[in-house]
Structure 1
Amino acid sequence: MSISFTSSIISRLKRDIAEIERQIVQDKSKIAKINAKIKQLQTDKPEGSSPADQSKMTQIKKLSAQAVQLAESQTGLAKQLSVKNAELRLQLAKEKGI
């Protein structure tokens, strides 16, 4: 493999890794905001069965589902990140071996 080809693969992997890391940080921020909103709704809700209370419960359920979805996404992103880092280490080793 030529040096320029290996270098382009390394550059692409570094960009991919940076993008995945950026997405992980954004998702963690979203999860924190969702959890704060859920906590706020839980402390604000009076114990009753008025339509407003039901609306808050619906909001809490939707926000909880979003948080779960983002947490699952975090797992997938972590796996992608480890694969990309392994590929990068392999390509860097190849580059040094050339």
Structure 2
Amino acid sequence: MSISFTSSIISRLKREITEIERQIVHDKSKIAKINAKIKQLQKDKPDASLPADQSKLTQIKKLSAQAVQLTESQTDLAKQLSVKNAELRLQLAKDK
């Protein structure tokens, strides 16, 4: 394989790894904000008897679902990151 081809693969992998890492940090921040919002809503202790309290319970369920979805996304991103790092190590070994 030519050196320029290997170098372009390495550059691409580094960019992809950086983007995945950025997404992981962004998602972790979103999860933290969602959890803080859920705690705030739970602190108000809705009892579901009033329409406003029912709305809070609905909002808590919706936020919890978003948090679960983001957590699953984090798992997928971690797998992708692992694969990309392995590819990068392989390409760096070829480059030597």
* Band the TM-score falls in, shorter-chain normalisation: over 0.9
Unaligned regions of 5+ residues in structure 1, if any? Answer: none
TM-superposed deviation, 1:95 = 0.1
Structure 2 counterpart of 1:64, one-letter code? S
Counterpart of 1:28 in structure 2 is 28
Structure 2 counterpart of 1:25, one-letter code? V
**Aligned-residue CA RMSD (Å):** 0.8
TM-score (norm 2): 0.98
Counterpart of 2:17 in structure 1 is 17
Percent identity between the aligned chains? Answer: 89
Structure 1 segments (4+ residues) deviating >4 Å: none
Unaligned regions of 5+ residues in structure 2, if any? Answer: none
Alignment of 1:80-95 (within 5 A): 80-95=80-95
Give the length in aligned residue pairs: 96
Counterpart of 1:59 in structure 2 is 59
TM-score (norm 1): 0.96
TM-superposed deviation, 1:84 = 0.1
